[in-house]
Amino acid sequence: MLKIGSLLRPENVAVGVKAASKKQVFLEAAKMLAASSGLTEAEIFRALLDRENLGSTGFGRGAAVPHARIHDLGNTYMVFMRLAQPVDFDANDGQPVDLVCAIVGNYGATVEPLKALAGACRSLRNSDTLAKLRQARNAADLYAGLIEAG
């Protein structure tokens, strides 16, 4: 399992992201991921949406980890967003989502994207971590909370 800090950079953390729907969340994530990965927003958005169509990546307690594998992507990339308002994500517990960790990885890589996903999910299952992330005053505090969580 990869630690969040091995993939997440401070510039890939945002607080107060405005999105009124799950699709808008994916658009915002795609913008951030495109800036660091070199892929286009459109291909990232499509990959996230295609994966979501297989089943919701909202796993409960107001957190979601949308993820996708993309051909010819050199590395695994991660962004973290705290939304301005919770969004319906069809999560298994029915709660709307305000914490989003989006991950894209190489389609051919079998280990790193899965380890990144496992690390993010582990951190976002902890009630204390979720509370700290929701109380962070700004992106720097949010990033520090994520690094502390592992």
Residues taking part in catalysis: 67
C-alpha to C-alpha distance for 148 and 132, rounded to whole angstroms: 10
- Torsion-angle region of 120 (φ positive above 0: left; ψ -120 to 50: alpha; else: beta): alpha
Q: In this structure, what token pair is assigned to residue 91?
A: 């999560």
CA atoms within 13 A on the CB side of 108: 5
